[in-house]
Structure 1
Amino acid sequence: MAPVHGPIKLLKGTLGNNDTISYKDKWSLFPFYMKGLMDYLKKPDQLDRISVEEYAKKCQVTDNAYHLVLVPLTSGIFFLPPEKFSAYVFFGLMAPSFPRFYKMRMGAYLGGLSEIMSEPMANVIRNQGGEIITNSKVTQLINENNEVKGVITRAGEYRAKQTVRATEIYAAQNLVKRSNIEHECFNNFLNLKTMSAVSLQIDLDEPSMPYDRTTFGAGTAMASFAEQSRTTFRHVPGRLSVILSPASKFIDMDQGDILKTVIQDAKKLGLNIEEHIIDYRVIKHPNEFYSLELDQDWMRPEQDTPH
């Protein structure tokens, strides 16, 4: 998608597909992005109080461009529909890469995250003399005179000069509450709303698509999906991974009903997977992420905890 690495593909994508999204639709997005990036820099507080949907209407984005581009870019990536998605957060995701857009590319992991991300980091820690402990849930932080001195697990205490709380937002909030830590820096953090995510992994007897790449399912519950048997999950003949939206609809839904919904929506997108299913797994992440809704971003904690 970057001009430097794929200029012909970029031109085809920009100038082509006019039977689906017209030049008028594409052009209507230009002032949306340009004005949005300017407001991100100059009016961040105002932008955080308006949704992507409202901002698109303000910039006169066509209905077709809205449904085919903006809905996938919100629901498809962060499983939150544009009518709830903060415009500030939306443009904030793009602003850092905008000065180098000509280099921007997309790729796929060539293995599971444990294999290619977690294990390499764990190995570095081990090589530095550290110890990795798994399957040991942290139940509380060791709080002494309002200073964190380590963690408490079911197996015992682990003390340290520095403690990094890297976990889901809801779990982190509960840890702070249970540990009776009182500091003004946590006031906003504890009031920060959360949102859930639901995904579906389907093992197939053959690949669902000719290529392993992410695709957006505009107008369906399949916000985004990808065949991954040639890249991340090479041990199975076919693997279709799906992010579902809205997550609030599926978080309490029966797994079988979720599969039926995806099978039906896959047919709408030209994917006939029902007869090829070997196994499937529904992955639910309740309250795992901080909310990207309006007027929430300012409550995010800083990276450094005050002393």
Structure 2
Amino acid sequence: MKVESGFHRYIGFYSHLPLLLRKVGIKLSDILTWEEKVHVRMNNGKPLVLGLAPVHGMVKTIQGFIGNQDYLSVKDKLSLLPFFIRGMIDYLVRPKQLDSFNIKEYAFKHGVTPDAFHQLIVPLSSGIYFLPPNRYSAYVFFGLFAPGIPKFYKMRIGAFLGGMTEVMCQPMADWIEKKGGEVRVNAKVESLIYEDHQIKGVRLSNGENLYATHTILATTLYAFKPLLEQHFKKEAWFKPIGNLPLMPAACLQIELSEPAYPVDITTFAPLTCMSSFAEQSRTTFQQSKGRLSIILSPPEKF
């Protein structure tokens, strides 16, 4: 994977993915290096350091909350507590109501100070979802963190030690082939085979038909919509899917003669077009002398 569609991270409280990796013989320690903190770059000063591993990096987490007084006062930090606590409760008890607010509205509704909003919530939310916090619902925001509540002790961020194609997807493909399956790449699906009111397989762009007992579309919404629209555009069950808006994203990668940053770490840059970025020459792109990966925001502009 010479170019990534963003710089990818593994969240420590994932449950299904580690089971899958274990099944195909992949050890997390072989494909990941763990980050116990993230950086937030403000102007040209030293970065704000936030600990995100309450167990594995307890000291850094406490230091991040107590320290960084130059960026966020005690009042700013305390204003975040009712926002997160109320958000988690509403996510579980009143999800539809939570879905009626965007993240900016919900933050100010619960007393988050302007500094805490702009210096923490904006970079965190736009860095994860690629869009400003007034562009998506609070339900989506808290939906990322809610599964981690019962497994908070596992919270930390993993950076891949190589392109995901090489370190994760290829071992999966090898396992499938070892079990008698077949994996095809660069085989573009042109349409579904729909016969007798049933999906019978897929038709490739080279004209080949592949028939199957079950067909699974594990794609982005962008690729998913046109395949189903050909046959199900007028079906009532498809209309909610068809009406879902597509979300753009823009990623910039720069190959350099030396590292752009002293460490490979997830970094947010609020009030800039770099919603999140990372130097990756020591982790994912070890063949590079320097590799800066940036997620740009707002994506439509780019």
Deviation at 1:168, TM superposition (A): 1.6
Contact kept, 8 Å, 1:50 with 1:86, in 2: the verdict is: yes
Q: CA deviation at 1:3?
A: 2.7
Q: What is the alpha-carbon root mean square deviation over aligned residues?
A: 1.3
2:191 to 137, 140, 164: 140
Task: For residues 172-208 of structure 1, give each alpha carbon's deviation from its aligned partner in whole angstroms, at most 9, with x where no partner exists.
Answer: 1100012447654322111111111000000111111
Distance, in Å, in 2 between the alignment partners of 1:79 and 1:17 is 25
> What residue in structure 2 maps to residue 51 of structure 1?
102
In structure 2, the residue matched to 1:111 is: 162
1:65 is matched with 116
CA contact (8 A) 1:81 1:246 kept: yes
Match of 1:212 among 253, 256, 264: 264
Cα deviation 1:207-264 (Å, max 9, x = unaligned): 11111111000110000000000010011110000000111111xxxxxxxxxxxxxx
Decide whether the 8 Å contact of 2:91 with 2:143 is kept in 1. Answer: yes
* CA distance in structure 1 between the partners assigned to 2:270 and 2:246 by the alignment: 24
SS where residue 185 of structure 1 aligns? coil
Matched residues, number: 250
Q: Which residue of 53, 57, 61 maps to 1:10?
A: 61
- Structure 1: which amino acid aligns with 2:230? R
Give the Å deviation of 1:67: 0.6
Counterparts of 1:288-299 in structure 2 under 5 Å? Answer: none
Cα contact 1:74–1:85 (8 A) shared by 2: no
- Once residues 154 and 120 of structure 2 are traced to their aligned partners in structure 1, the CA distance between those partners, rounded to angstroms, is 21
Q: 2:183 & 2:146 partners in 1: Cα distance?
A: 36
- Once superposed, which parts of structure 1, at least 4 consecutive aligned residues long, lie more than 3 Å away? 179-185
Matched, 1:32 2:83: yes
**Which structure has the higher relative contact order (CA within 8 Å, separation 6+)?**
2
**Cα distance in 2, alignment partners of residues 214 and 162 from structure 1:** 39
CA deviations on 1:142-164 (whole Å, 9 max, x unpaired) are 11122111000122100011101
How many angstroms apart in 2 are the aligned matches of 1:180 and 1:2? 45
Superposed displacement of residue 125, structure 1 = 1.3
Displacement after TM superposition at 1:112 (Å):
0.3
* Matches of 2:76 and 2:232, distance apart in 1: 53
The 8 Å contact of residues 233 and 239 in structure 1, kept in 2 or not, is answered as: yes
In structure 1, stretches of 5+ residues that fail to align are 251-307
Contact 1:227–1:238 at 8 Å: present in 2 too?
A: yes
Bigger helix share: 1
SS across alignment from 2:122: helix
Name the structure 2 match of 1:269.
Answer: none
Q: Which runs of 5+ in 2 are unaligned?
A: 1-51
How far off its partner does 1:103 sit? Answer: 2.5
1:193 corresponds to: 245
CA–CA separation in structure 1 for the residues paired with 2:166 and 2:112: 42
- TM-score w.r.t. structure 2 length? 0.80
Per the alignment, residue 215 of structure 2 pairs with 163
**C-alpha distance in structure 1 between counterparts of 2:286 and 2:105, whole Å:** 43
- Is 1:99 matched with 2:165? no
2:56 aligned with 1:22: no
TM-score by length of 1: 0.79
Asked if residue 249 in structure 1 is aligned to residue 293 in structure 2, the reply is: no
Q: What is residue 235 of structure 1 aligned with on the other side?
A: 287
Identity percentage of aligned residues: 51
1:130-152 Cα distance to aligned partner (Å, 9 max, x none): 11222121010011122111000
Given that 2:269 and 2:275 are in contact with CA atoms closer than 8 Å, whether structure 1 keeps it comes out as yes
> What is the identity, as a one-letter code, of the residue corresponding to 1:147?
Q
